[in-house]
Amino acid sequence: MGDFRNDSLDQLHADLEAANLAPTWLYVSEFVSKQPRVSYRPWLWRWDNVLPLLMRAGDLVTPERGAERRSAEHVNPDLRPFYSTSHTIATAVQLVRPGETAPAHRHVAGAIRFAAQSKGGPVYTRVQGERLMMEENDLLLTPSWTWHEHRNETDDDIVWLDALDFPLVNLLQASIFEPGEGQVCPELGDDFSRNRLGLYRPAGWGGYPNGQPVVRYPWVEMRAALEAQRHEKGSSFDGIILEYVNPLTSGSTLPTLSCRAQLLRPGEHTLAHRSTASTVYFVIAGQGATVIAGTEFAWAKGDVFVVPTWAWHEHRNGDSDGLLFSITDQPVLESLGMYREQALEELGGRQVVVDHFSP
Ligand code: GTQ
Ligand code: FE2
């Protein structure tokens, strides 16, 4: 930085850069973009491709301390360095074989499990000392910093879908992980939380970490609740859709992740919308397609697909009931005042299909 009498804009730009400063007047649209800049595409993982790989891991990998879990993460090809499915959500399929225990640990990242393939019986995640049984399509929560271990005391394999917020936690550079040793919390009776979330609790009970309750949501109840609404109009974007509720706050399941189940009726074709939230879907039952940003993603039972932030999407169901489970980061955007949503106004609210997805 020398003689200011001969100063020039070029010289100023060079000097700003050398001083680790940036001229907003050049880059304002980089800093504050007009539309979300989304760095990854929609993707789909077919159950028929994923399951055989997980079963091979069943023969070659044991969920011991250190390895911790036998699960395969759904890695978006555009998010490889972060191993995540959307920019905030990581889902995985996990296998626990008969007699196995995946050891206790806890982490700042919050997680949910959705029992994709279970024959029922004594197979559970023990969360803060409480056994949460996993019947098929049940949802269970392991909120941030709760101790959790998985155990299968049945004669059948169990496979479930994990969803964690670790990509968001890592973006915030706030991840902490702690392995458990032996009995990390006192054993509580089964369904302790289910029975105690209401009016009564043991005097002196220490409460939940961060006030986040340990909950199991039985599928039979959710399925019945969806069925009860079958003949209602529902959402023009989502058919009959219900959100799982945190019974203490009546907000989302976790502060970072909301879970939903939806019923698409035979032949139902919804309208396209988009939002500043990203969503990962798991197909519980049925056959259909979701058009995401102009590409048609055909789906069937067990498939997992991701709708990135700001991507137009609409569902086109086949001729039987379509049942979708989904996990969205919408509560993050909402709690920060950043949630925006749009309906597609052109073309009667539906996209033009320009491509069909194949991996
Ligand atoms: O089951 O606790 O897929 O901690 C990734 C991290 C599962 C688990 C994953 C985990 C778990
Ligand atoms: Fe975990």
Q: Is the CB of 94 under 6 A from ligand 1?
A: yes
Amino acid identity for residue 72 in this structure: A
The owner of tokens 């054993």 is 187
User: Which atom, in ligand 1's list, is nearest to the CA of 142?
Assistant: 2
Amino acid identity for residue 146 in this structure: T
Q: What 3-state class would DSSP assign to 194?
A: helix
Q: Is the CB of 112 under 6 A from ligand 1?
A: no
Whole-prediction pTM: 0.94
Q: Is the CB of 212 under 6 A from ligand 1?
A: no
- How many angstroms separate the CA atoms of 1 and 47, rounded? 62
CB 297 within 8 A of CB 357: yes
Q: Is the CB of 162 under 6 A from ligand 1?
A: yes
Kindly report, residue by residue over 221-238, the tens digit of the pLDDT. 999 999 999 999 999 999
| Best probe residue, ligand 1, of 65, 69, 327 (max atoms within 8 Å of C-beta) | 69
The residue whose C-alpha atom lies closest to atom 10 belonging to ligand 1 is 69
- How many angstroms separate the CA atoms of 12 and 332, rounded? 40
Kindly report, residue by residue over 296-340, the tens digit of the pLDDT. 999 999 999 999 999 999 999 999 999 999 999 999 999 999 999
CA of 69 to the centre of ligand 1 (A): 6
285 closest CA partner among 263, 269, 268: 263
**Architecture of the domain made up of 43-356:** Sandwich (2.60)
Q: Is the CB of 69 under 6 A from ligand 1?
A: yes
pLDDT at 2: 55
pLDDT at 205: 77
Q: What percent of the chain has pLDDT over 70?
A: 97
The CA–CA distances, whole Å, from 8 to 4, 17, 19, 49, 209 equal: 8, 14, 16, 60, 58
Kindly report, residue by residue over 9-61, the tens digit of the pLDDT. 999 999 999 999 999 999 999 999 999 999 999 999 999 999 999 999 999 99
Q: Is the CB of 144 under 6 A from ligand 1?
A: no
Q: Is the dihedral of CA 339, 343, 346, 349 positive or negative?
A: positive
Q: Is the CB of 137 under 6 A from ligand 1?
A: no
CB 215 within 8 A of CB 155: no
According to DSSP, the residues that pair with 102 across neighbouring strands are 150
User: Which atom, in ligand 1's list, is nearest to the CA of 73?
Assistant: 3
CA of 114 to the centre of ligand 2 (A): 14
Beta-strand relationship, 355-356 and 295-300:
parallel
CA of 280 to the centre of ligand 1 (A): 17
CA of 276 to the centre of ligand 2 (A): 27
Q: How confident is the model at residue 210 (pLDDT cuts 50, 70, 90)?
A: confident
pLDDT at 202: 74
Amino acid identity for residue 131 in this structure: R
What average pLDDT does this structure show over 140-166? 97
Q: What 3-state class would DSSP assign to 63?
A: coil
pLDDT at 184: 67
| Best probe residue, ligand 1, of 50, 68, 150 (max atoms within 8 Å of C-beta) | 68
What average pLDDT does this structure show over 165-173? 97
Structure tokens at 82: 């972060």
User: Would you list the domain boundaries of the chain?
Assistant: 43-356
- Greatest mean pLDDT among 63-67, 78-82, 98-102: 98-102
